[in-house]
Amino acid sequence: MKYSFPSALCFPFKIFIAVCLFYSCSENKQKEDEVVVPEKPIVSKPRVIPPDFNSDSSFSFVKSQADMGPRVPGSKAHEKSIEYFKKQFERFGAQVLIQTGNATTFDGKPWLLKNIVASINPQTTNRILLAAHYDSRPFSEKETDAKLKGKPCPGVNDGASGVGVLLEVARILQQKNPGIGVDIILFDLEDYGMPNGGPEMADSWCLGSQYWSKNPHKQNYSARFGVLLDMVGAKDAMFAREGYSAFYANDILDKVWKAADKCGSGKYFNKEEYGEITDDHYYINKIAQIPCIDILHYDIYKGSFFEHHHKNSDDLSTIDKNTLKAVGQTLLEVIYNEDH
């Protein structure tokens, strides 16, 4: 028997096919009409490999300061260090400005403070700020021996180390222009705060940076961000995410901590956040309103600064070139990878 499809069933089948065809065509049509927004490429910019930070050179800058003796405000060594910084920065082709200002320490003494500002690519609009303090504490109050307590602190890790890293950064920037503008500020009178002063005496510290933050060295000065170095030369240093840095500039902490990982310095940079420390960066954030972080040696497990902090033992023997290298190389990683 010849098999034939009943035409009553065949017709709806045909309609079904026709409808399917129509929709598939109109769907294609719709696709053609769509405005295609190209997706942002997810590939990140290639990493710029920065020049090598020379830790022998950096160490020699730390040693030169240590050899002058404690750079306590009012001392010959303090004056001599200012001349030394000016000479070195000028040798590295930076424009140097010495900002002076009046300040009174907690003991009622008046001072003419001097902040050193060294500018690389001074005409460039896009800038970053790097800072450290250069003064030494007039006492070593964390010593137990009363005779040592009254002596000035040698201030080698606390002061000279940050400056030693920044002088080496300036030397490198002259060899290979980073494109971006860089201002290196060495603050005076950071370390003349009241011993055991309590929170109400917090503003007795950081007088140089308080002055600069209220009176930047240039009218309408601005910088994309700032990085402060404080006690960056001791063996096995720990730099963790300090509270004010996280509050005001968490994205800069991310940037710098990532850069540390990239250049192999990650082991010094602890990923945890801890409490707020009053340091020069606080005033740069609060008063000058430039997001600024602090790379500061604070052991979050022991709950204390580096072990010779404000002791007579903060001398050249506390310095480990590997730590200077880790911090300096991280800064170069950040600087040369910054858009300009």
Could you say which of 82, 97, 246, 277 contacts ligand AHN (CB under 6 A)? Answer: 277
230 binding ligand AHN? (CB under 6 A): yes
- For residue 43, the 8-state DSSP code is P
279 binding Zn ion? (CB under 5 A): no
Q: Is 95 exposed, middle or buried (0-12, 13-18, 19+ CB in 10 A)?
A: middle
- For Zn ion, the binding residues in 178-197 under the rule CB under 5 A are 191
Judged by beta carbon, residue 128 or residue 153, the one nearer Zn ion is: 153
Judged by beta carbon, residue 116 or residue 335, the one nearer Zn ion is: 116
The CA angle 33-35-36, to the nearest 5 degrees, is 120
The minimum distance between CB 205 and ligand AHN, in angstroms, equals: 5
135 binding ligand AHN? (CB under 6 A): no
Q: Is 141 exposed, middle or buried (0-12, 13-18, 19+ CB in 10 A)?
A: middle
Query: Can you tell me the distance from the alpha carbon of 187 to that of 166, in angstroms, rounded to the nearest whole number?
Result: 12
The minimum distance between CB 272 and Zn ion, in angstroms, equals: 23
The minimum distance between CB 232 and ligand AHN, in angstroms, equals: 11
Q: How far is CA 43 from the centre of its chain?
A: 26
294 binding Zn ion? (CB under 5 A): no
158 binding Zn ion? (CB under 5 A): yes
Judged by beta carbon, residue 103 or residue 277, the one nearer ligand AHN is: 277
313 binding ligand AHN? (CB under 6 A): no
Query: Can you tell me the distance from the alpha carbon of 154 to that of 317, in angstroms, rounded to the nearest whole number?
Result: 11
Query: Can you tell me the distance from the alpha carbon of 36 to that of 325, in angstroms, rounded to the nearest whole number?
Result: 48
270 binding ligand AHN? (CB under 6 A): no
Query: Can you tell me the distance from the alpha carbon of 27 to that of 6, in angstroms, rounded to the nearest whole number?
Result: 32
191 binding ligand AHN? (CB under 6 A): yes
E strand or H helix at 298, and its extent? strand 298-299
205 binding ligand AHN? (CB under 6 A): yes
Residues that bind ligand AHN (CB under 6 A): 158, 191, 193, 202, 205, 230, 277-279
